[in-house]
Structure 1
Amino acid sequence: MKDLTKYRNIGIFAHVDAGKTTTTERILKLTGKIHKLGEVHDGAATTDFMEQEQERGITIQSAATSCFWKEHQFNIIDTPGHVDFTIEVYRSLKVLDGGIGVFCGSGGVEPQSETNWRYANDSKVARLIYVNKLDRIGADFYKVVEQVEKILAAKPLVMTLPIGTENDFVGVVDVLNRQAWIWDDSGNPDNYEIQDVPADMVDKVEEYREALIETAVEQDDALMEKYLEGEELTIDEIKACIRKGTRDLAFFPTYCGSSFKNKGVQLVLDGVVDYLPNPTEVNPQPETDEEGNETGNYAIVDPEKPLRALAFKIMDDRFGALTFTRIYSGTLKKGDTILNTATGKTERIGRMVEMHANSREEIDTAQAGDIIAIVGMKNVQTGHTLCDPNKPATLEAMVFPDPVISIAIAPKTKGGNEKMGVALSKMVQEDPSFQVETDQESGETIIKGMGELHLDIKVDILKRTYGVEVEVGKPQVAYRESITKAVNDSYTHKKQSGGSGQFGKIDYTIEPGEPGSGFVFESKVTGGNVPREFWPAVQKGFEQSIDKGVLAGFPCVDLKVTLNDGGFHPVDSSAIAFEIAAKSGYRQTLPKAGPQILEPIMKVDVFTPDDYVGDVIGDLNRRRGMIEGQESGATGIRIKAKVPLSEMFGYIGDLRTMTSGRGQFSMEFSHYEPCPKNVADEVIKEAKERAEAK
């Protein structure tokens, strides 16, 4: 049995360029010293490796790396940098028990870090704050602390203060212990001395220490009384309060340093051990049914309970596909058979590995609280639940909205097709909200996703990660068609040409169905005018036709067909004759049924500082948006609106211009609704032009 109180599953998240990579690098370097596999050759392995890795953002090619600090095992999970409406961020935050938010000492709280912070708040992840790059020109620790309060509306609990700034930054003061850590200029993190607090900082340290204790004791009434009566509290008593407040998100312990110069990182690691929760202290994951409704059961962190695990990231590397998995309850052994609740299939567990700072360790068993990688899983995607086949449960239903935007892509080089195909199939596995198909008529490869930015990022990944340069077509909106009125009609298909002919007559009603009902077919034929064995053929004929509407060739939705009567010939009637009758009937009747174009409407959530609200709302109205409400947060206003997708192309650029770069937005599909006539005419015209071009 492992001691779970010695585990910390943490993520490091930051704005681009705040130093996430370097900080992760330094943590691995510091913790690698006490790596149980022996010494890391200092600087030889990790740093050289870094140059090529800088783009990718984490030193070691893995989504989760284990390392050790003061007898505690840290599992550091790489959180995605792009939070642009990907499901990934939520998945990654879900498997974290705590995190470190890294902010740049001169850049402060930047838009991307605001977004990350909001996501982490939504997922209720406890965090430490680390203000990095204090050696940089313009760095100002106190200014960043103030921004955290103002922009993030968070309460920083200052644990360390910088000694000197910019070029004169030499170390930090540990406020609680009243100790100064001073590093020399060698850049070696271990070359430090612990000294008395510099004389010119004594008053400041006392002021911050008092504020720290006053905030901390609010977590414990008995200690608060003791403190107010003037008694001195022990360090352990204060730490217990900080630990509780951090776990409850009442405040965030805040540290400072320079990862690049190797100053201050040790205290952050101590903070992870002292204040971030272990797996047993976090609220357990709720279990759900396939639809995503909670069942009232929870995956309790206990190795004896039935197995519950979540695949949260899939990565390809030179050893094959790695499925990174967080085990919430139970125990997983090599050779076990597990059930994937998303596919309903079982798989045997072959190799399991734990990623260590500079190597992989094969393991035979893993248990609740662990984060491991399973090698060579076949049908697992991001977000699938792996569980005990005898006691199945789902941790989180995989509900992916249908893609609303598509673009055609083609490789720039002749031989690029095969390479592109391989890359795309890997990408679909990693991100289930991304889809790929081939257009039957033109042979083009179409990629589909949740928005413009989503597909931009995919094209970028193709280029950078897989080395495939592609030409990108114009974005296409996934329109639909429907009808507005019921029509009774009749169609007779007959063909006579020597030998047996074809005959099928149908009388039917086509009418609009309930929204979301799809295609519904029923037969009211009595007395055998259309024999029962031909009904499926009639249904098939209509069902195959609805893929193409009569206005612009988009799929037709929410249609009900009722077969009322008809006629048949004892020799010439066949299933195929009735199927053809249905297909021809569809083409004959649909134009009479008031066909219309439907467009996807998006739920748009825009975040803007107060000063720009008027401009943002005016712009959304121009985009045919319906404003549904606005709520003011500590850092600005969130505007909720429903806007047609076709009006949202290029929105991020316009929003940044309107809000001096501080606006953020996310959008997801809401529903389909009829287009205004002028928009519909334009869509139909474009569809005709495309058809002619082919």
Structure 2
Amino acid sequence: MADKSGQATTGRAPEAVRPADIRNVVLVGPTGAGKTTLLEALLHASGATTRAGSVEEGTTVGDYDEAEVRQKRSVNLSVAPIAADGLKLNVVDTPGYADFIGDLRAGLRAADAALFVVSALDGVDARTRMLWEECAAAGTPRAVAVSRIDHPRADFEETVARCREVFGAGVVPAYLPVFRGEGEERVLEGLAGLLSQRFYDYTRPAPDGAPGPASTDGPVPEEAAARVAGLRAELIEEVIQESEDEALMEAYMEGRELSPETLIASLETAVARGGLHPVLAVSPAHGVGVAELLDELPRATPSPLERPMPEVEDLRGRPVTGLECDPDGPLLAEVVQTISDSYVGRVSLVRVFSGTLRPDLPVHIAGRGDADRGRSERDADERLGSPSVPMGRRMVPVPQVIAGDIGAVARLGAAETGDTLSDRENPLLIRPWSFPEPLLPIAVRAASAADDDKLSQAVARLAAEDTALRVEVNAETGQMVLWCTGEAHQDVALDRLSGRYGVPVETEEVRIPLRETFSVPAQGFGRNVKQSGGHGEYGICRIKVEPLPSGSGLEFVDKVVGGVVPRQFIPSVEKGVRAQMESGGESGYPIVDIRVTLYDGKAHSVDSSDMAFQKAGRLALRDAAEQGSMAMLEPFDELTVLVSDEYMGAVMNDLSSRRGRVVGSEPVEGGRTLIRAEAPRLETVRYAIDLRSIAHGTGTFSRRYLRHEPLPPQLAAKYAKEAAKSG
């Protein structure tokens, strides 16, 4: 088997027959840290490819910088199954760019541990800290790989110190790079293993065709021995503390020799408990430390048996307990990614928590609906096709996918990302992970009227794939709005609509729904009298309109005396008033927050009817709006902004320039500030982009509708003029 470049590949995926033989590790880190290069190096070191950089086509997708994303490169998760020390190691590569945090959360759900990649050249920035907090929120055990250690400007120990400062004291080195020389003349000699007390010499060139550079195993160089001994003692103490291994503590206190096997077993326990984060040193571009990483990952990370099951309930919402990671147990699996392939159609990437996926297995598909995201409830039965495992863009058929493993299933028509697969006889539902809130809107329409129906279908399929996308069809503006997490996410969504689904779209400015209300009390007269032979129409009413506080809606008051408007037609007048409120006043924007008092009118014994008085009610409110003084209203949102302290002033000033009001702030750990503000939505449509620029990627925010407030007169005149033109 050969890949696109002609280099031989194994063509077979490693198989596991029991959960204890599986390790699921997700690569996490900011763009540029080197995750994808590291994955390529791991595949090369494991023998999956014959030369570094010759990874099989499509094996590593996900870690692209902003420029690459703008070139419409794929940003899906990718899974690379690797044979390591007799185990199956599923390495899940995730996007490092901020817009694709939803894919990171999916990767965290699929994995049992995370390898957090930090560049020794770039260090730890706010984006890195945010990614670490995502892992912590998911409760994922973490190890750290410091990459690019052999760069002349890299500082491994300074990077570790910074990681300890930001991530916590549990960050401790497991390997120490040893250098010869200083400054630009500095050369990496090798790595000292703190637990094994062995030195891996990387000064010799790799034999031609060998997987990775040659490294010889020998004693730690004398000049590094003291430093290694000190770091080793620190690591052992952290392992003892976090693993709570009393036997290990006793042996250590008595000064007995501790075997590497004993230490690594306790290290794995400490990592699984989430308190210890061992640091490994690598330079994936040159193969340095990759073999050691490939050796340590399976031994230092937990198996699926050691991780808790996700929260599960039945279809009535009752909690279900007692499930275990057992291939013979009831089926419980989750779709963590949905991909549309031009050849095989929809492909569902699945993490199996219990039971076994087999060909032709009947399954139940369950998923909660989310109207805000354009997702309907899923409750269907289907039969599985042949399961497979992803090998780049190829899907390699396998006889089964057992509990604890990650596989793929094609043509599950009803399944969407986040859905649960379970037994038909005992349908279950896994509580899905938290989906990111998309805060950047873009309005789209089909490039041609002939594609209108195709656009609706394409957007529905896109929403099924992308949990971070929210679809809104605004009833007031008539626009279809895609809510995205940022510009890159927006570009990818548009590209998929035109490229993957063949629906060219045009974008337009998102129209913000405005409102109107009465600024002072007014009187209105509605006369609907028509005679056309036979029964005519007769309805006359007089109303008084008064403004109410924001959010009051309509208060309808009946003060008719003497039966001038018969009782049965008073609700008809209210219906007409409500209909006219929705249609709006002269500017066409809905009328809100008014008290309408019906106090007089006339009826006809034959020609009066429900419809006649509905029309009279509409005419009366329209007349009051034309005679009275109207105020245009705009929506105000509550913004909650979390930002690094150094950018707090800039963010506050920017909010003020948007006619916003800062109502409070409070310090948050990690040198950050939480700012609460109220701001008009007209000024914050693109705040997701602007905040990222102002705060250099360190800021996040959420929004919640508060109320409508009067629009400044100059803006009100502008929008009234635009409404008159369009009307």
TM superposition score normalised by structure 1:
0.79
- The number of residues matched between the two structures is 676
1:157 lines up with 2:193 in the alignment: no
Letter in 2 for 1:255: L
**Per-residue CA distance 1:367-389 (angstroms, 9 max, x = gap):** 54333333223344333344455
Q: Is the 8 A contact 2:642 2:675 kept in 1?
A: yes
SS of 1:692's equivalent in the other structure is helix
Counterpart of 1:321?
346
Distance 1:562 1:301 in 2: 65
Task: Give the counterpart of 1:606 among 642, 658, 670.
Answer: 642
Counterpart of 1:78?
93
Distance 1:554 1:89 in 2: 41
Superposed, 1:490-639 pairs within 5 Å as 493-502=528-537, 548-550=583-585, 553=588, 580=615, 584=619, 587=622, 597-608=633-644, 610-620=645-655, 623=658, 624-634=660-670, 636-639=671-674
Distance 1:398 1:230 in 2: 46
Return closer, same or farther for 1:243/1:402 CA change in 2, 3 Å cut-off. closer
CA positional deviation for 1:67:
2.9
Counterpart of 1:212?
235
Letter in 1 for 2:173: V
1:191 lines up with 2:224 in the alignment: no
CA positional deviation for 1:7:
2.2
Distance 1:127 1:455 in 2: 30
Structure showing greater Rg: 2
1:462 lines up with 2:485 in the alignment: no
Q: Is the 8 A contact 1:404 1:600 kept in 2?
A: no
Superposed, 1:356-371 pairs within 5 Å as 356-358=390-392, 359-363=394-398, 365-371=400-406
Counterpart of 2:362?
335
Distance 1:221 1:466 in 2: 57
Distance 1:593 1:383 in 2: 51
CA positional deviation for 1:348:
0.7
Distance 2:179 2:647 in 1: 37
Q: Is the 8 A contact 2:357 2:387 kept in 1?
A: no
Q: Is the 8 A contact 2:353 2:403 kept in 1?
A: yes
Distance 1:217 1:441 in 2: 62
Return closer, same or farther for 1:565/1:20 CA change in 2, 3 Å cut-off. farther
Letter in 2 for 1:202: A
Task: Give the counterpart of 2:252 among 227, 231, 242.
Answer: 227
Q: Is the 8 A contact 1:21 1:59 kept in 2?
A: no
1:177 lines up with 2:196 in the alignment: yes
**Per-residue CA distance 1:343-402 (angstroms, 9 max, x = gap):** 143141332533243542335654543333332233443333444555455433699899
SS of 2:26's equivalent in the other structure is strand
**Per-residue CA distance 1:410-436 (angstroms, 9 max, x = gap):** 799999999988865543333355355
Distance 1:547 1:267 in 2: 68
Distance 1:85 1:62 in 2: 10
**Per-residue CA distance 1:594-616 (angstroms, 9 max, x = gap):** 876252414433221x4454454
Distance 2:477 2:707 in 1: 29
Counterpart of 1:282?
307
CA positional deviation for 1:310:
3.1
Q: Which moved more, 1:427-436 or 1:408-417?
A: 408-417
Q: Is the 8 A contact 2:366 2:378 kept in 1?
A: yes
CA positional deviation for 1:261:
1.1
Q: Is the 8 A contact 2:581 2:592 kept in 1?
A: yes
TM superposition score normalised by structure 2:
0.76
1:348 lines up with 2:375 in the alignment: no
Letter in 2 for 1:66: P
**Per-residue CA distance 1:655-683 (angstroms, 9 max, x = gap):** 67766x4x5122222222233542x7625
SS of 1:73's equivalent in the other structure is strand
Q: Is the 8 A contact 1:529 1:566 kept in 2?
A: no
Q: Is the 8 A contact 2:440 2:483 kept in 1?
A: yes
Return closer, same or farther for 1:10/1:579 CA change in 2, 3 Å cut-off. farther
Distance 2:329 2:577 in 1: 51
Task: Give the counterpart of 1:16 among 22, 26, 31.
Answer: 31
**Per-residue CA distance 1:424-475 (angstroms, 9 max, x = gap):** 55433333553557889999x643326xx62553135535895599775445
Q: Is the 8 A contact 2:363 2:423 kept in 1?
A: no
Q: Which moved more, 1:513-522 or 1:359-368?
A: 513-522
CA positional deviation for 1:493:
4.1
Counterpart of 1:431?
466
Q: Is the 8 A contact 2:472 2:481 kept in 1?
A: yes
Q: Is the 8 A contact 1:104 1:133 kept in 2?
A: yes
1:311 lines up with 2:335 in the alignment: yes
Distance 2:115 2:668 in 1: 26
CA positional deviation for 1:641:
1.6
Distance 1:147 1:263 in 2: 22
CA positional deviation for 1:106:
0.9
Distance 1:174 1:477 in 2: 60
Q: In angstroms, what is the RMSD of aligned CA positions?
A: 5.0
Task: Give the counterpart of 2:294 among 257, 269, 286.
Answer: 269
Counterpart of 2:413?
378
SS of 1:301's equivalent in the other structure is coil
Q: Is the 8 A contact 2:519 2:631 kept in 1?
A: yes
5+ residue gaps, structure 2, are: 1-15, 370-376
**Per-residue CA distance 1:591-642 (angstroms, 9 max, x = gap):** 879876252414433221x4454454455455524344423323x1232423
Q: Is the 8 A contact 1:285 1:298 kept in 2?
A: no
Distance 1:521 1:78 in 2: 59
1:168 lines up with 2:187 in the alignment: yes
SS of 1:81's equivalent in the other structure is coil
Distance 2:423 2:580 in 1: 43
**Per-residue CA distance 1:259-314 (angstroms, 9 max, x = gap):** 111121222233321222222322332246999xx855458334466544433322
Letter in 2 for 1:336: V
Counterpart of 1:135?
150
Letter in 2 for 1:177: S
Distance 2:647 2:92 in 1: 36
CA positional deviation for 1:529:
5.4
Q: Is the 8 A contact 2:25 2:111 kept in 1?
A: yes
CA positional deviation for 1:544:
6.3
CA positional deviation for 1:255:
0.5
Return closer, same or farther for 1:108/1:554 CA change in 2, 3 Å cut-off. farther
1:242 lines up with 2:267 in the alignment: yes
SS of 1:497's equivalent in the other structure is coil
Q: Which moved more, 1:148-157 or 1:566-575?
A: 566-575
Distance 2:191 2:582 in 1: 66
1:46 lines up with 2:55 in the alignment: yes
Distance 1:596 1:654 in 2: 27
Letter in 2 for 1:185: P
5+ residue gaps, structure 1, are: 34-39
